[in-house]
A and B are shown apart, each in its own frame.
Chain A
Amino acid sequence: MKDKFQFFTEIGVVRWTGFTADSLGSLLEGLRDVPGSSIFYHLHHALFHRQRLTLHYVMNDFARWVHNTLEEKPLAEKLASVDPLQFDSIRGAREKLIRYVESYIGEIQVFPRVPKVRELYFMELRSFVIPAQVEVENLNDFINGLRRLGRGAMLHHFIEARYRRKGKYHNDFSEWLETYGAKEAAQKLDKLNPYLYDLETLRDKTIDILKAYREKS
């Protein structure tokens, strides 16, 4: 008998960490001191939860603030290039961000500051992972389940899974697909880079891969 797949969803509310930045100096301090959950939020959640209305909106929050508010575009480009897929942990991504800011600052000790209303507020997500009332055991139901669930399910099974999983695949869907016998779809899905899409598009891409596999087999 094939395993069932239980969908979970992650739902949260934004919370202020108590840290703010008003200059490159305080940005560096913040990057060093804020909880990992805040780095995760600005690198992942904020990116996935917003509509990609302008080109700058595809940047992570740190890069966007440095670009739009501090107008330090070379540094913004570097920060935007931090690809979370290259790191197994938040610590790795944090260190990369810190290195970029440190090397950009160099020996500078005095930084122009922005007014309070333009400060970067380091936020984090306080969230809950809840079992959705969707449990499936075949591909059709799996596709329907994906359609019914929102960003929270994609976030949990596709984005956060990357940091919690130790197995062969980076996401929860692929593992189940392999046990279901859909190894090809599992591998294809695992190669999908989530950082190139918003969550809805990512879900649609996932569904497309599964539908193509279903038609082929």
Chain B
Amino acid sequence: MKKVKLEDYIPLVGEATIEEIKLLAQQLKGARIQHINSTKTGGGVAEILNQLVPLMNEIGLEVEWDVIEGTEEFFDLTKSFHVALHGARTRITQKMFQIYKKMQVVNQEKIDKNADFVILHDPQPLGLSEFRQREKSKWIWCCHIDISEADTRVWRFLSPLVDLVDGAIFHIPQFTKADLDIPQYVMPPFIDPFSDKNRDLRESEIYKFLKKYGFSTDERFILQVSRFDKLKDPLGALQAFKIVQKSFNVPFVYIGNFAPDDPPGKRVYEEFVQEANKIPGVKVIANPDPNDLVVNAFQRSASVVLQKSIREGFGLVVTEAMWKKQAVIGGDTGGIRYQIVDEATGFLVNTVEGAAFWTRQLLSNPKLATLLGEQAYDRVRANFLPPHYLRHLLCVLLSAKHPGRGVTCLNK
């Protein structure tokens, strides 16, 4: 795949945004920046860094990306932390805290002692903050998950480690934490408009991937794309479809993934399929192949896109559908509320009935769907692309370099 350059974004975000990034970069020229996370592949953070690191290098910063090492036991416990930080019940033991700290000692050699800025991503490498050399570098923690309802025990363990850095970044205001003593910045994540999941598709490609799963390009359907996870409310989406079915003969497609080593996901999948089999017109596509292109083709062709979540992080799947000019009907929660401007770029709903009501409205009024879809696309184009994130991140780095509030004039 062609390497994406900052200039490639000009048609999407405008020349001025790119110009601003270059001006900010000049203020940090030559700075050595180290990103540290827990994996190079898979997951949202790796996707973000795969985009961000080359762009940061392109603008004259010296950026490296390192990954911490860990035993199976360590990564298992960080999974438990992850679940607990999301507010779900899980078993947390004192021994887990000890192993976490021990692995940070092992990984401290990963820290670039010459870095001007060290950016830690998510909780896995957060404990490295205890080994920072305060006088030399500025440290930032990027939290990519919703920790607003975090388990108290885990948060009490992690929050002192957060307070050792110079600033923390969260995706939406509701994810910030009142008990932190450091500056907390809010900046939404982004989608990659050039990836297989989001790039423009040729008609022939759309045809091919729809046909593979038994659909044609002139067929109307309702779509939800999400993991088999109770918080995405797949059964709620199904109930909404049952109501819609009374007025419209339009099928419902649910595309989702679950890993073989994810027993809860498998259970949700089985339960969902059992229910779906009782209703005519439901098509379940589990673990599609190739995932990104299939999702892209279905999102572009859907008449209505649902995201009936009852709890959500930022919900980039909503951003992806909005990018394809879809007026999404989304659960009024988390980052979905931040993305969907109710009645302008989609609809925010709290109930099955609400989801069904707006689905029927959009099915019966394609002109409205087109208008809202265009506005949804504009909203993504103006806010949720890599240059927007990069511009904000550079501001956070400058803020760490020039601590203070309000406006600072830089005369260089």
Which residues of B are found within 8 Å of A124, using beta-carbon distances? 405-406
Q: Which single member of A13, A54, A153 contacts B344 (CB below 8 Å)?
A: A54
Q: With A13-B396, A127-B395 in contact, do A150 and B186 touch (Cβ < 8 Å)?
A: no
B174 & A121 in contact (Cβ 8 Å cutoff): yes
Interface size on A, residues (CB 8 A): 37
Q: Which single member of B186, B375, B408, B409 contacts A16 (CB below 8 Å)?
A: B186
Which residues of B are found within 8 Å of A130, using beta-carbon distances? 23-24, 26-27, 410
Which residues of B are found within 8 Å of A53, using beta-carbon distances? 341, 344-345, 375, 379
Q: Which single member of B148, B375, B378, B407 contacts A127 (CB below 8 Å)?
A: B407
Interface check A132, CB cutoff 8 A: yes
B: contact size bracket:
35 or more
Which residues of B are found within 8 Å of A117, using beta-carbon distances? 148, 174, 333, 337
Chain A, range 37-68, C-beta contacts under 8 Å to B:
37, 51, 53-54, 57
Of the stretches A4-12, A78-86, A94-102, the one at the interface is A4-12
**What's the least CB distance linking B391 to chain A, in Å?**
7
A129 & B391 in contact (Cβ 8 Å cutoff): no
Please indicate which of the listed interface residues A15, A54, A131, A149 has the most CB atoms of chain B within 10 Å of its own CB: A15
In the complex, which residue of chain A has the Cβ closest to the Cβ of B184? A16
Please indicate which of the listed interface residues B16, B375, B408, B409 has the most CB atoms of chain A within 10 Å of its own CB: B16
Give the number of residue pairs across the A-B interface with Cβ within 8 Å.
Answer: 117
Q: Which single member of A11, A14, A160 contacts B20 (CB below 8 Å)?
A: A11
B398 & A128 in contact (Cβ 8 Å cutoff): yes
Which residues of B are found within 8 Å of A18, using beta-carbon distances? 178
A150 & B24 in contact (Cβ 8 Å cutoff): no
Which residues of A are found within 8 Å of B405, using beta-carbon distances? 15, 35, 37, 124, 126
Complex Cα distance, B379 from A153, in Å, reads 21
Complex Cα distance, B23 from A128, in Å, reads 10
B344 & A15 in contact (Cβ 8 Å cutoff): no
Q: With A16-B184, A51-B379 in contact, do A129 and B395 touch (Cβ < 8 Å)?
A: no
Which residues of B are found within 8 Å of A11, using beta-carbon distances? 20, 23-24, 391, 395
Which residues of A are found within 8 Å of B14, using beta-carbon distances? 150
Complex Cα distance, B17 from A150, in Å, reads 7
Chain A, range 150-196, C-beta contacts under 8 Å to B:
150-153, 160
Q: With A13-B396, A13-B399, A131-B411 in contact, do A126 and B19 touch (Cβ < 8 Å)?
A: no
A149 & B16 in contact (Cβ 8 Å cutoff): yes
A150 & B333 in contact (Cβ 8 Å cutoff): no
**What's the least CB distance linking B28 to chain A, in Å?**
11
Q: A128-B402, A151-B16 known; 11 other A-B pairs, CB under 8 Å? A: A9-B19, A9-B23, A12-B407, A13-B395, A15-B184, A16-B186, A37-B406, A51-B382, A117-B337, A126-B185, A131-B411
3 closest cross-chain pairs (CB), A and B = A150-B16, A121-B173, A13-B395
